[in-house]
Amino acid sequence: MYYIVQEDGIRKADKKQFLEASDGICILTLEEWQKEQKWRSFFGIWHSIDCVHYCEMESYRDFLFGTIRVPAKSLQEKTQEFAIYITKGYIILLDENGRIEKQVQQVAQAAVHGEYSLERFLYDFLQSFLSKDLLFLESLEQKIAGMEEEVLRGRAEEFNYRMLPIKKMIARFYHYYSQLTEIGEALLENQENLFGKEDLQNFQIYSDRVCRLAGETKLLREYAMQVQEVYQSEIGLRQNNVMKILTIVTTIFLPLSLIAGWYGMNFSYMPELAYKYAYPIVFLVSVMIVIVSLVFFKKKKFW
C-alpha cells in the first residue's frame, strides 16, 4: 500500500506516484522487502531484518531503522510487530499481519489540518499507539484497587492467581515504555539531520509522554506490590488469630489436665476418692477455672 503526504493530509497512491513523490509512505511485508533489491538500492538501504523482538531505533548512514513491538492489552488482542525505515522523504513500514495499514489509515483520516508533512505523520503514527494507554493503565489500577478492597474485607479468594497476570502485564508495559523512551531519544538526537526544529519539538512531546506513561506504570507496579504485602499481612493476622485461640484453649484446659492427672494417679490412699461429694466439688472447681480464665482473658482483651 502506498500513500503520499500532502499539505492538506495523506492520500492513497500507486507505486509510480509514490516513487515520484517527495514525501511518501510505503507498507510492505518482510518477504516483499527482502525480495525488492531495486527498492532497497533506490532508498540506499541495504540493511535487512528477520523478525521483531523488541522496540529500538538505530541510526545508519542516511536513514533510521527501528522495530516496535506493541504488547497486547488483553487475551483477545494480538501483539503488534513491525519495522520502520525513515529516510529523507520516505517512510517504509514492514508489517506481516496487516494491522499497521489500518493504523496508517486511521492517522490519515485524522490528518486534516494544513501544512501537513511526512515528519508530522511519523509523530502522529507513533502517538497513535499511545492514545488509549492512559485509560488502560487506569483500568489496571482499578482492578488492583478492587483486589485491595477484597483483601481488607477478608474475601480475597485466589489472590495470587489473580494478581499474577496483572503484575506480568504491568512489567510487560513497563519494559515497552522504557524501550520507547530510547526510541524518542534516538529521534531527538537527529544524527542524520532528517528532521527540522519543529519536528524535534513534536518528538520531544512524544518522548515526554512515553516517560510519563513509564512513570505511571512504575507506580502501578509498586502499588501491586503494596497490595500483595497487605495480603500477606492479612494472612499473618489470620494465622496469629488462630494461634491466639489455640493458646487460650490450651491455657484454659491446662489446669483441668493437671486435676485429671492428679486424681488419676494410682496411690493406695487418696481420701478425696472416697469422699461422697468429691465428684461435684471437682466438677464445680473445673467450671470455676474455666469461667475465671475466660473473664481474665476478656479483661486483658486477648479475645
Give ranges for CATH 3.30.460.20 in the chain. 1-129
Residue-wise pLDDT tens digits, 203-251? 899 899 999 999 999 999 999 999 888 888 887 877 777 888 888 888 8
Structure confidence at residue 142 (pLDDT): 92
| 9 in Cβ contact with 111 (< 8 Å) | yes
Structure confidence at residue 49 (pLDDT): 67
How far is it, in rounded angstroms, from Cα 25 to Cα 121?
9
Give ranges for CATH 1.20.58.340 in the chain. 248-299
| 214 in Cβ contact with 178 (< 8 Å) | yes
CATH superfamily, with its number, for domain 1-129:
CorA soluble domain-like (3.30.460.20)
Average pLDDT estimate for 164-191: 89
- Whole-prediction pTM: 0.76
**CA–CA–CA angle 105, 107, 110 (5° rounding):** 110
Residue-wise pLDDT tens digits, 265-302? 777 777 777 777 888 888 888 888 888 888 888 887 77
The grid coordinates listed for 101 are 495499514
Tracing cell 520502520 back to the chain, one arrives at 84
In angstroms, what is the C-alpha Rg of the chain?
36
3-state DSSP percent of the chain in helix, strand and coil, to 5: 60, 15, 25
Could you tell me which CATH class the domain 248-299 is placed in?
mainly alpha
The grid coordinates listed for 241 are 488469630
Across the strands, what pairs with 64? 59, 86
How far is it, in rounded angstroms, from Cα 70 to Cα 173?
9
